[in-house]
Chain A
Amino acid sequence: MNIIVDKHATGVKARSTQTIMLLVLLALAPGILSYTVFISPLVIFNIIFAVCSAIALEWFAVHLRGDNGLNSIKDGSIALAAALLALCVPPALPFWQLFIGVLIMVMLGKQVFGGIGHNPFNPAMVGYAALLVSFPQSMTFWFTAAEWSAMGMQKPPLLSLLNAKLSLDIIASTPNIQWDGLTQATPLEHARSLRLQSLPQSSTELNQRAFGSGWIQTSLGFLLGGVFLLYKKVIRWHIPVSVIGSFALLSLLFSTNSLSLPWSLLTGAMMLGAFFIATDPVSAASSRRAQLVFGTGIGALTFVIREFGGYPEGFAFAVLLMNLSVPLIDHIDLLMSQRA
């Protein structure tokens, strides 16, 4: 059959899936940069490791299915998902655990459903959730560059940390590092433990701690990338605004946390999640109106999990739960638009 719609003759060049994924990866750059500087340079190794193993696994899975694995890698979606997963896990996570996360992400998060476009869940969040429930100790094991000095400790050389990441159990294998002093390092985790133990919480102290930990700077980096994506119209405003908006509103009204609102937005995964994770078009709701509902649900669930749940951060579970309700949201949206 001949050409039906002659795109070539109209001079319109639609952005390809590949371009979209590359733009999102580019938009991650400022966040990754401040992560490297303010939290840990180990993240670079995590990203490289996750991306390479994800690409290899994706090729393998697509090949098993009898398709051309190269085509599937070329669209860049799996590289993006791997980078997002690497940004969500603690920098000190042993490589073998990260590999399991990547394996689950590629196989159970994406390929079992038929590859790109067919996965109901955000693959990166599937991998993250699996890691969080499988390796709770290493998945809540955070330390930041600033904290080494804050604790008055010698920062271990990068090489020895990398060496530790290659081992099976990072804590047991590096006895010369005093890990114990560094537990519960994320500001969210700290605020949560204070609240749970009914210890007095000083807002200024918590805020300072958050800033000192490097989280604020990193979140600002992701925010910058998100604004870039909005400017380039790779994502639309509906999801990020509704995620952040509903979370902020609920925090203002009901938060028992002493962390002030801007600080609670800028610690944890809120910026990365609202602009880069929740906006994954494949697993998000389809119409703009449904996206507002989808985003509001994520923001609200994140707040609920942070406030009442067993985990200091609830973004991944909020996204997965809302992914689960996307078919319902889309269906109701369709019925409503048909009635109108």
Chain B
Amino acid sequence: MGMFGKEKKACMQGPLLFGFHGGLQLQPNKRALQNSTDPITELEAPHELVIPLLDYNKNSIAPQVELNQHVNRGQLLAAGIIAPATGQVMAIEPRHIIHPETIKANAVVLEVDKASDNQSVHMANQANHDSTAWDTQLSAFLNMPDNVLQQSALYGLGGAGFPTASKLDAALGGIQTLIINAAECEPEIACDEALMQTEATHIARGIDALVQLTQCRHCLLAIEDSMPAAIDAMSAALKSINAQVKLTVIPTIYPTGAESSLIQTLTGRFIPHNEKPSDHGIVCFNVATAYALYQAIGGKALDSRVVSLGGSAMPNPLNVRVRFGSSVEAILLATGNASVINTARLRAGGPLSGFDLDTPQVPITAQTNALLAEPCITETPAQPCIRCGECSDVCPAKLLPQQLHWYAMSDDHEKCQQLNLDACIECGCCDLVCPASIKLTQSFRYAKSKAKHIAQHQQKTLDAEQRFALHEARVAKRKQEKAHAIEQRKQSLKARSKPQSDQIKAALERAKLSAKSKKPR
């Protein structure tokens, strides 16, 4: 509880911000918002939706629908995965997923039934405008929060995609500070900013619901100072519903939107990577997740998100709301950006945290916050490190990227662990400042995934050893049992043969006797 006391003090200091180590001031460059008249353009569901059957940890899960089955929008396709549109299941087969390297995963392919899907959109819009129903819906939600959370398959829209229900479960009860993350610090990404400009009231209601549900003492909404329109909209909306939320304007420094950096900026608390914020009485939600919660309380499941189309080679940059499972190609075609498919380099996510796409025929997921088109470039090859130390100056996790890179490249996972590689948030700051163009972030991602793989492999080896031992024990036991059974059988035979021989003897005796008795006659 001592920790909470400290934390309370930090929050009561109000407007005082603590900042975090390192980081970089980057140009926000939000083309998606600057170059279009509407903050968000709604896109119709495309002809085909592909929904990969993967859980939060990217493990395959079994489908709960059958081939050719008709599904309604919001119906469960598998545990935690819902149909983003009304239509028919055309196939359940391996399909390309949105990924740094083209790989496939089992997916449900949905042929959208446009007519009934449009009807569902129409109904949802009507429900949205019915604000008198909100209070009853909210109290129903607060009474039975699990119903809503399970039905609407809520998960975080910030980047990690953690299931909201489990996050809330872990947090319920001991929450002092609720942080709503609207920092959106990475260049080109403008989906949260656009959402706040258009849906401020609904976001405010979603946040209010979170405040009431978690019964936190403080709730902070953090917005970067580079988005004044969003700040104005949110501050008015929060005032209008009289929510107990404190809007905090934070400086625009990348990666202030990363959970650990944001918590540090707002509370001054550095949370080690192996601890959860909820251990410290803090829980963070993305602003889009708050909006999704609002929708879920109103009965609308999470089946779409705002994606920023940007990048210097994108002819028509804008923010679009698209259904999960829409292919990148379909989105680009529908927005008049088809020309980039063959001419530019496509990228999912921001310039720092995202990855290049090999093909546009991949479906977007809840984590796809941006699609960028950038000119094809050849990267400068890495030069030797001159040990300038700029990388550790900008590292928000206070690591030593220079040393870590050395160990990562020489596969020394023990040393990487010692230098706290797991705390790396892969923000890419070190790459940006390196004078020798060394691919630090990639080497860290490599080392982390490799370490994970090794751990999995070790576990598998241990399992195999155990299973072998059990197998051997069982075989030995069976052998013993068999031997025992044979022995018993022998014994019992012997035991039976004894009386038999007695009987024979007796019979022989009798025969002899009778023979004797007969002879004299």
A19-B387 in contact (CB<8A): no
B355-A17 in contact (CB<8A): no
B384 at the interface (CB under 8 A from A): yes
Report A10-37 residues with CB < 8 Å from chain B CB: 10-12, 14-17, 19-20
A334 at the interface (CB under 8 A from B): yes
CB-CB nearest in chain A for B387: A281
Number of interface residues of B (CB under 8 A): 51
Chain A residues, Cβ within 8 Å of B347: 3, 6, 9
Identify which of A2, A9, A286 contacts B188 (C-beta below 8 A). Answer: A9
Identify which of B187, B372, B379, B392 contacts A287 (C-beta below 8 A). Answer: B392
A5-B387 in contact (CB<8A): no
A17-B383 in contact (CB<8A): yes
Q: Interface residue tally of chain A, by bracket?
A: 20 to 34
> Which of the 9-residue segments B9-17, B22-30, B488-496 touches chain A?
B22-30
Q: How far is the CB of B422 from chain A (nearest CB, A)?
A: 14
B7 at the interface (CB under 8 A from A): no
> Which of the 9-residue segments B167-175, B206-214, B432-440 touches chain A?
B432-440
Q: How far is the CB of A322 from chain B (nearest CB, A)?
A: 15
B384-A4 in contact (CB<8A): no
Mark B197-223 against chain A: 1 for CB-CB distance below 8 A, else 0: 000000000000000000000000000
Q: How far is the CB of A39 from chain B (nearest CB, A)?
A: 31
Main secondary structure of the interface of B (DSSP, over half): loop
With most chain B CB atoms within 10 A of its CB, the pick from A7, A19, A118, A282 is A7
Report B400-446 residues with CB < 8 Å from chain A CB: 400, 402-403, 418-419, 428, 431-437, 439, 441-442, 445
With most chain A CB atoms within 10 A of its CB, the pick from B345, B374, B383 is B383
Mark B328-359 against chain A: 1 for CB-CB distance below 8 A, else 0: 00000000000000000101000110111010
Chain B residues, Cβ within 8 Å of A15: 435
Q: How far is the CB of A84 from chain B (nearest CB, A)?
A: 15
Q: How far is the CB of B312 from chain A (nearest CB, A)?
A: 7
A281-B386 in contact (CB<8A): yes
Identify which of B385, B392, B442 contacts A117 (C-beta below 8 A). Answer: B385
Q: How far is the CB of A207 from chain B (nearest CB, A)?
A: 38
Main secondary structure of the interface of A (DSSP, over half): loop
A9-B387 in contact (CB<8A): no
B100-A286 in contact (CB<8A): no
Q: How far is the CB of A50 from chain B (nearest CB, A)?
A: 21
CB-CB nearest in chain B for A9: B351
Known: A12-B26, A116-B384, A338-B418. A5 touches B435 (CB 8 A): no
B351-A5 in contact (CB<8A): yes
Identify which of B24, B100, B372, B384 contacts A12 (C-beta below 8 A). Answer: B24
B26-A2 in contact (CB<8A): no
B435-A117 in contact (CB<8A): no
| 16 sampled A-B residue pairs with Cβ under 8 A | A2-B356, A4-B439, A5-B428, A7-B431, A8-B377, A12-B432, A14-B432, A15-B435, A19-B435, A115-B384, A117-B387, A118-B384, A281-B387, A284-B387, A286-B400, A286-B403
If A6-B356, A8-B374, A17-B383 are given as contacts, then 10 extra A-B residue pairs at C-beta distance below 8 Å, sorted by A number, are A1-B442, A2-B100, A6-B352, A7-B351, A9-B347, A10-B26, A12-B26, A16-B436, A20-B386, A291-B389
The 3 closest A-B pairs by CB, nearest first: A2-B356, A117-B384, A9-B351
